[in-house]
């Protein structure tokens, strides 16, 4: 068994969609980034790659590569799962924590879990998504950005 951790931040700006865990969430601000800027999916991918010591998403999906402009991060998550499988790993469970002052994320969490479940080919019971504010402290508290942490447990496939 191996464990991995991922962390990501994206800036909140006007004129962008807010996509978290593959859910488009109605809000007056969205996340800035080369792809769809789904910070939750990015932290999750880095946790998976970290557990397998396979680098990070910046290395696999460079943000100066036009191929990934506006990318659906759930598609990239599927590619990360394929990479792990090729290297002989299966995923036991993952746990994602999103740090955001606004909007309220609770109503969207079941759909995020479903989206990750589908993208990863894992049961929804293996996927936890949580959200918290940081009590108006720091950049998430000031609504300047949204951060996400993730951990993943992986195991070698039975041979």
Least distance (Å) between residue 88 CB and Mg ion: 27
Radius of gyration of the chain from its Cα atoms, rounded to whole angstroms: 15
The reply on whether position 8 binds Mg ion by CB under 5 A is: yes
The reply on whether position 149 binds Mg ion by CB under 5 A is: no
The closest residue (CB) to Mg ion is 42
Which pairs count as long-range contacts for 58-63, CB under 8 Å and 24+ apart, including other chains? 61/35, 63/33, 63/34, 63/35
**Taking CB under 5 A as the criterion, which residues in 32-71 touch Mg ion?**
42
Q: Output the CA angle 9-31-38, nearest 5 degrees.
A: 70
Is the Cβ of residue 11 or residue 90 nearer to Mg ion in the bound state? 11
Is the Cβ of residue 42 or residue 113 nearer to Mg ion in the bound state? 42
Is the Cβ of residue 8 or residue 112 nearer to Mg ion in the bound state? 8
Segment interacting with Mg ion, rule: CB under 5 A, options 4-12, 69-77, 112-120, 136-144: 4-12
Least distance (Å) between residue 150 CB and Mg ion: 12
Report the distance separating Cα 96 and Cα 124, nearest Å: 13
Report the distance separating Cα 121 and Cα 100, nearest Å: 27
- Mode of pairing for the β-strands spanning 2-13 and 145-156: antiparallel
Footprint of Mg ion (CB under 5 A)? 8, 42
């Amino acid at each position: 068994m191996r464990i991995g951790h991922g962390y990501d931040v994206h800036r909140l700006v006007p004129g962008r969609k807010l996509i978290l865990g593959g859910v488009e969430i109605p809000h007056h601000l969205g996340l800035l980034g080369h792809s769809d800027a789904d910070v939750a999916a990015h932290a999750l991918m880095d946790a998976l790659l970290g557990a397998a010591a396979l680098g990070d998403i910046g290395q696999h999906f460079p943000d100066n590569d036009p191929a990934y402009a506006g990318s659906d991060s759930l598609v990239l998550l599927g590619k990360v799962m394929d990479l792990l499988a090729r290297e002989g790993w299966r995923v036991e469970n993952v746990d994602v924590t999103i740090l955001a002052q606004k909007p309220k994320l609770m109503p969207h969490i079941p759909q995020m879990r479903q989206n990750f479940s589908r993208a990863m080919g894992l049961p929804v019971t293996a996927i936890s998504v949580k959200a918290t504010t940081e009590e108006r402290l720091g950049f998430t508290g000031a609504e300047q950005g949204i951060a996400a942490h993730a951990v993943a447990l992986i195991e070698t496939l039975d041979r």
